[in-house]
Amino acid sequence: MPFADSSAAPAKAAAAAPRIDLYSSIHKALRLFMTDTLVRVGRLDTGDADELAATLAQLRSLLELCRTHVAHENEFVHAAIEARRPGASQRIAAEHVEHLDAIAALEAEVAALAALPREPAAQRLYRHLARFVGENFEHMHVEESSHNATLWSLYSDAELVEIHQRILAAVDPAEMGLVLRWMVPAMSPAERAELLGDMQRQLPPEAMRGVIDTVRPHLNDSAWGKLARALNLPIAPGLTTR
């Protein structure tokens, strides 16, 4: 599920000027979500019922987001590529099928571990999740380089913004909240200010407060100070803005 970013990606096609990047921001969110979850699974104490439940709940949430991310890319991004260059998304589309199979297999392992918490099962889940994360990192690199180059050669920035808006329209509020929870802390300060500044201009104050309430607990004091200053929001007494 891409979220547009106007920053340049590493593809050579972007060398002359920044282009709309449908992959950058959502991939930052997924990388943070994946790595955080992988670490939690790796250090899981299967004898602690609360820790087990919380960790497996986070993993289930990650896997469901990965599934919807694949669906959004297939429906909107791949369709756009295929409309103007048939066959150009074939490799990544095939990997998406493999990812969906891997997600289903991981979900089955999660259910088995929840039903019978045992250290060998937890270690097996950890190894399989690590492989899934590694494969996704390689997959996202191809999308950010090869697919972006293709999109930039086929579509204007105005057209890419239209594609992005169609994607956002397909995202329900719960999914949006989850994405923002992981996307905002994964961004640079400038990226955060740009994203939330756009939201601040478009959303009513109450809705914007909900966004801030979602992301604030996941930013350290320094990151929050920079964002609050960029958005002209009050900063808690004694909190540094440096």
Domain boundary assignment for the chain: 12-172, 187-242
The span from the CA of 180 to the CA of 220, in Å, is 16
Q: Give CA separation, 102 vs 92, 128, 154, 183, in Å.
A: 15, 9, 32, 23
Of the given ranges (13-22, 67-76, 172-181, 219-228), which has the lowest mean pLDDT? 13-22
pLDDT band at residue 190 using 50, 70 and 90 as cut-offs: very high
Q: CATH homologous superfamily for 12-172?
A: nmb1532 protein domain like (1.20.120.520)
pLDDT of residue 16: 59
Q: Can you give the pTM of this predicted structure?
A: 0.90
Centre a 10 Å sphere on the Cβ of residue 192 and count the other Cβ atoms it contains.
22
pLDDT of residue 241: 40
pLDDT band at residue 6 using 50, 70 and 90 as cut-offs: low
pLDDT of residue 13: 44
pLDDT band at residue 235 using 50, 70 and 90 as cut-offs: confident
> In sequence order, which residues have a C-beta less than 8 Å from that of residue 30 and are 6 or more positions away?
65, 66, 69, 136, 140, 182
Longest dimension (CA), the chain: 57
Each residue's pLDDT tens digit, 139-167: 999 999 999 999 999 999 999 999 999 99
Q: Give CA separation, 181 vs 46, 159, 178, in Å.
A: 26, 28, 5
CB 20 within 8 A of CB 6: yes
The span from the CA of 81 to the CA of 74, in Å, is 10
